[in-house]
Structure 1
């Protein structure tokens, strides 16, 4: 997916910031499909334009960015939400991720970091400002310690498990291919096979599954 084929909606209640981010993205080749000043408008417009990525602020008035994120990701599974917030508070990060956000950047990020984050989010990669990924990993490890109900997970092949471990560590498909000395296409095939077995929809959900099952911290055999 190239930047020119990635559609983005920018949601922020500050017009100058919102327009500036939209301009930066457009200048870097993204299609800015829409902007929105609040959570209610974000949900309504997202339904109409179905962007690939929503850049979501959290403090939006009556309908928070977290609530808007939950509605958008619930109704539009192909649309990914990347939070762009002034807050780096742990509670804000975790609430956003639990609501379905694919990643979280603080507004101190550079324009280059933002462009890269939008591109990676559109590709299905979890993206976090440095230091926040560890927080999310820790939260899912704590969740994994709770007793689990239901049937045991489907059996994965050894190579599928190897790839899943790397997904949990935040590596891209190309990085996984280099690390495991296999082709990029082979990595993608393993990812797709694992998604089908686990009945998941994208690499963000796959990473969450791997983290919940402690695969990000296991030694590779």
Structure 2
């Protein structure tokens, strides 16, 4: 199936160039946007499979847009394409839910390769950034206290949430009521001291839960 992509950048020439490269490579560019507000509105209207996104865009910025996108539709992949390679920007983007991060000095070939890999759910980073991200998450993990134990059912529900399944779909798969699934999710959020599906998804990925397996 053709991968449906949205391109978000406030620089028209750059945005048009990325759109053109993706179209020539066989991707379907379903929307473009110049700021965070446009991005969220057009994302809701088109529900792309992948978003190529600049961080430094008019409000809301790229980190906030990434958070909102993953919260609305966790199966959508986000590839950040930014002029900044600063550690804080990279970590903020990954924590928000971005699957990949490239700096704008990347070549056309590197961009297209990254889009293909991110579309498959594979993390992609400009050289040197992957080690930075891994090292930071390992540091944070080592600093965390022992985590509360989840029941087998809670873990099962967590994996399905991380796959982007709706509560209704989870209920049908597990032959449970919609309310029971909601209760399980609320229990997991409470135990892990988290607030939303985005945080649960990041938790599942960072802890190595095999969210790509069929459930």
Q: C-alpha distance in 1, partners of 2:28/2:130?
A: 28
2:207 aligns to what SS in structure 1? helix
Moved over 6 A (4+): none
Give the structure 2 partner of residue 148 of structure 1.
146
CA spacing shift, 1:118–1:153, aligned 2, 3 Å: farther
Q: C-alpha distance in 1, partners of 2:94/2:49?
A: 17
- TM-score between the two structures when normalised by the length of structure 1: 0.70
Q: Mean Cα displacement is larger for which, 83-92 or 123-132? A: 123-132
Out of 3, 15, 28, which is 1:31 matched to?
Answer: 28
2:97 aligns to what SS in structure 1? coil
> Per-residue CA shift, 1:33-70, capped at 9, x if unaligned?
11000011111111110001000101112211001111
Give the structure 1 partner of residue 105 of structure 2.
108
Gaps of 5+ in 1: 155-194, 212-221
8 A contact 1:82–1:118 mirrored in 2 = yes
Q: C-alpha distance in 1, partners of 2:72/2:11?
A: 26
Give the structure 2 partner of residue 86 of structure 1.
83
Q: C-alpha distance in 2, partners of 1:152/1:141?
A: 21
Out of 100, 125, 130, which is 1:128 matched to?
Answer: 125
> Per-residue CA shift, 1:105-164, capped at 9, x if unaligned?
11111111111111111111111111111111011111111113210696xxxxxxxxxx
Q: Does residue 9 in structure 1 map to residue 17 in structure 2? A: no
Q: C-alpha distance in 2, partners of 1:153/1:69?
A: 30
2:102 aligns to what SS in structure 1? strand
2:59 aligns to what SS in structure 1? coil
Q: C-alpha distance in 2, partners of 1:36/1:153?
A: 43
Shift of 1:27: 0.5
Out of 92, 96, 114, which is 1:95 matched to?
Answer: 92
8 A contact 1:85–1:105 mirrored in 2 = yes
Gaps of 5+ in 2: 164-200, 210-215
8 A contact 1:58–1:64 mirrored in 2 = yes
For residues 1-221 of structure 1, the aligned pairs below 5 Å read 5-145=2-142, 146-151=144-149, 199=159, 201-202=162-163, 205=202, 207-210=205-208
CA spacing shift, 1:114–1:144, aligned 2, 3 Å: same
Q: How many residues align?
A: 168
